[in-house]
Structure 1
């Protein structure tokens, strides 16, 4: 965690914090939190009657480490989800469902005081579920059970249309003809990209291409989609003082095949996925989406390394691990 000065975050943002918390709030420290690749995340600590600390999200261009987003179709379900509009749409939707998310104290996309979208939100100070799984398994198990219940609520929300919540709310239509077709198209792009950067994937590009096509060919059609977080690992779940899980990094909230969520949960939660698994999932989708997800987790981190993302060893490790796992999904010939 790096300590920033007030001028490092920007005096206008700190003035917004004071507006959110009242003139009696005095900033005493600003900590930049590690992990964000599309927005800056800061903990602003101070003294005053209302709060000891808050979190500030800054969606400044300089905080987005993902290259090549210019000209992308903003309505595509896999388009980079960044900015105040998708965050607020997701926060409202989840809050109405009773799914715990940080309270929004103030949001500003006017760009009059600060040249980026910015939000001041509740600081859920209990740490991540990822950390809790390592330090307090009993408390983590209770939080996992409640997280499973939250996901049940989300996944039971159905829509005939798929797409990000903010896209559907404004009446736009998501790209593509079906979830499985979108996943296949993205997987083929990820394969082509990874084949140029990862030697193991490059040498197996042809059988991986054929396997993706084989898996997609047996996926049955579907006309209803569930509400999913889209990138829900234990690092994207905080645990509050009462032990309740709190979802963060919610900008990508969308209606999509719930199998896409379950594949990601399986990869990120490992042995703890048992508490989150559910019957009735389509095995054909799970097979296609698992291979597609592995390829995404090769190509995505390698793209990120094209820029100046600071935590490079971790990204390289993710890409190498998932390249091996993708190759292991090829059937024996």
Structure 2
């Protein structure tokens, strides 16, 4: 598809309405990294700046795929989800960019948008790579925020917005939702990579075995869904500011910790995690491995600009998935494409 991104002139009415007729757009930068929404830094002629989120079809690189109906992490994008998640995180005492404007009526552009505080450009991910000593205090503060989320208790599982309006399905255990989610990802990944296709039966058996070890439980905390160091800004005051939180849901906290372990690696203990169910954690960890094969392979088949990064991510997780089900004598030696 032909993608047309915002230009400074497109923002005249928005800037005039929110900041006054004497304000002008001095610069407009489309920030990289987003795959479902457009993220723009608007520089104003008084030297200040704000961030614009835009939920437009031309900003979303993800092609559609089959979904599990009660999977709360499906289609985790949109202004409605953003607004509900922002309110829930703020109420929980978690630092997120201050919301300046949420427009779902097309008053300024043809698509839903949010205008938020510019919390800066310093990602925790960059600090961990280039200044790990400075990152230590930020990890501790982020851990405090994560514990506030994970020790909250909700009435059921589902997207925060769906719990608020009463539309979240509540028919079965979360472990079965995740099993079906993983099996769906496995089927799609097998259609894109012959190594996964060759190991599909073994991977499915492994997933079902992990599911069988999980005891029933009905206790849910607030879960970001993709809380890696690339989704945490460190603002000029040294506060960790969580972003990209439309996927916020009430769910098993082990789902979050499987992702935290993956993304933070050796630094994960600095977050001082809550107590976890090891069997549930193991199922969710492997399910996320399968998702991180299928999703990157799917988006790599589009016009996403950093296609090689997605292919490399999928390759890493193909190795992890195959190692877990390797036949005796072949562990650690997955075949090449």
TM-score with structure 2 setting the length: 0.91
2:303 aligned with 1:315, yes or no? no
Give 2:51's aligned residue: 55
Paired residues, number: 325
Measured against aligned partners, the alpha-carbon deviations of 1:224-255 in whole angstroms (never above 9, x if no partner) come to 11101000110000001111100000100001
CA RMSD of aligned residues (A): 2.0
Measured against aligned partners, the alpha-carbon deviations of 1:45-74 in whole angstroms (never above 9, x if no partner) come to 1222xx6111100000111111116x9678
Quote the offset at 1:304 in angstroms: 1.1
Query: Contact (CA 8 Å) 2:143, 2:273: kept in 1 or not?
Result: no
Quote the offset at 1:32 in angstroms: 0.6
Pairs within 5 Å for 1:33-182: 33-48=31-46, 52-68=48-64, 76-174=71-169, 177-182=172-177
Measured against aligned partners, the alpha-carbon deviations of 1:27-46 in whole angstroms (never above 9, x if no partner) come to 11100100000000000112
Query: Contact (CA 8 Å) 1:55, 1:120: kept in 2 or not?
Result: yes
2:22 aligned with 1:27, yes or no? no
User: Could you list the runs of 4 or more consecutive aligned residues of structure 1 that deviate by over 4 angstroms after TM superposition?
Assistant: 71-75
Matched residue SS, 1:197: coil
Distance 1:313 1:140, change over 3 A: same
Measured against aligned partners, the alpha-carbon deviations of 1:182-223 in whole angstroms (never above 9, x if no partner) come to 110011111111112122212211111101011101111111
TM-score with structure 1 setting the length: 0.92
Distance 1:39 1:75, change over 3 A: farther
Q: Distance in 2 between matches of 1:14 and 1:38?
A: 24
Q: Distance in 1 between matches of 2:186 and 2:69?
A: 22
Matched residue SS, 2:191: helix
Quote the offset at 1:265 in angstroms: 0.5
Query: Contact (CA 8 Å) 2:156, 2:170: kept in 1 or not?
Result: no
Q: 2:202 aligns with which of 199, 202, 207?
A: 207
Which runs of 5 or more structure 2 residues have no equivalent in the other structure?
329-337
Quote the offset at 1:331 in angstroms: 6.5
Which runs of 5 or more structure 1 residues have no equivalent in the other structure?
none
Q: Distance in 2 between matches of 1:294 and 1:86?
A: 25
